[in-house]
């Protein structure tokens, strides 16, 4: 009887072990563009800052590339149709003067300021003179995260390029000048704690002419080897217990 009792309790014990080692973070991946669209549609429902659909994201600017300061765009700086500001009816989001964070809510490419072609669910950014444009992601829990981001020059008419930075808790861990139809990108893992801030920064590199930039980023929680090993060891121990005849 005791052997069959051990067998019947095995799934329950495996489940409790899985729950013990499973991360407490409810979401495993974030995508800047798609999550921005989720904040924008349907019109009039969300559209808050920080993003009310995916609250890890917020949108703003500051006077320096590094540092943790962030001035959030206000509700008055939000628009569901940016065509009056040189955008497009499907480009929605925030802008304060030339500081722009809009997302293409359509499933087709649309044209923005300076003929910039913005892809489906892609974000378009522009810096204001003397201000760094910031899209911030705030970590929902401790863990190893994969950060994959791309800044793409969309205004090919000229200018002196722009600068992409990834600033974590105020410190830049990545900085790349790009422009003239080129891109900047990062694909790297970072160990983060609860509340750590990851700022994707676009700055002007001289003047702000022709600095319209396409942007998207994916952040993914990387399974920790220690958790996987603990789980494998736990399952192995239970299987050994299951195969061994009970002597009770
Ligand atoms: Ca909207
Ligand atoms: Ca520039
Ligand atoms: Ca450019």
- Give CA–CA dist 118/123, Å, rounded: 7
Distance 41 CA to ligand 1 centre (A): 5
Transcribe 59-81 into DSSP letters.
EEEESSSSSS--EEPPGGGEES-
pLDDT at residue number 27: 84
Q: Do residues 140 and 154 make contact, with C-beta atoms less than 8 angstroms apart? A: no
Which ligand neighbours the alpha carbon of 81 most closely? 1
Which ligand neighbours the alpha carbon of 162 most closely? 2
Among residues 62, 57, 26, 61, the alpha carbon closest in space to that of 40 is found at 57
Which ligand neighbours the alpha carbon of 156 most closely? 3
Distance 216 CA to ligand 2 centre (A): 19
Q: Do residues 189 and 222 make contact, with C-beta atoms less than 8 angstroms apart? A: yes
pLDDT at residue number 233: 60
Q: What is the mean pLDDT of each run of 10 residues along the chain (248 residues)?
A: 44 49 73 98 93 97 98 97 96 97 98 93 98 98 97 93 98 96 96 98 96 97 72 55 51
Distance 79 CA to ligand 1 centre (A): 7
Distance 122 CA to ligand 1 centre (A): 15
pLDDT at residue number 239: 53
């Amino acid at each position: 009887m005791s052997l069959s009792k051990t067998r019947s309790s095995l799934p329950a014990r495996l489940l409790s072990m899985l729950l013990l080692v499973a991360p407490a973070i409810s979401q495993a991946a974030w995508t800047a563009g798609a999550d921005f669209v989720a904040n924008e549609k349907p019109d009039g429902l969300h559209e808050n800052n920080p993003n009310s659909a995916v609250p890890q994201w917020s949108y703003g600017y500051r006077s320096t590339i590094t540092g943790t300061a962030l001035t959030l765009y206000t509700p008055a700086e939000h628009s569901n149709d940016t065509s009056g500001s040189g955008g497009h009816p499907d480009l929605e989001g925030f802008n304060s003067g030339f500081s722009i964070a809009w997302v293409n809510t359509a499933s087709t490419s649309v044209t923005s300021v300076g003929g910039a072609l913005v892809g489906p669910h892609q974000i378009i950014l522009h810096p204001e003179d003397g201000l760094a444009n910031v899209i911030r992601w705030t970590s929902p829990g401790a863990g190893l995260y994969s950060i994959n981001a791309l800044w793409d020059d969309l205004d090919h008419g000229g200018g002196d390029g722009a600068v992409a930075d990834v600033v974590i808790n105020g410190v830049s861990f990545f900085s790349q000048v790009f422009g003239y139809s080129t891109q900047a990108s990062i694909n790297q893992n970072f160990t983060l704690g609860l509340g750590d801030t990851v700022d994707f920064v676009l700055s002007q590199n001289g003047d702000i002419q022709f600095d319209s930039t396409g942007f998207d980023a994916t952040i993914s929680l990387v399974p920790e080897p220690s958790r996987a090993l603990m789980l494998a060891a736990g399952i192995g121990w239970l299987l050994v217990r299951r195969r061994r005849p009970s002597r009770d």
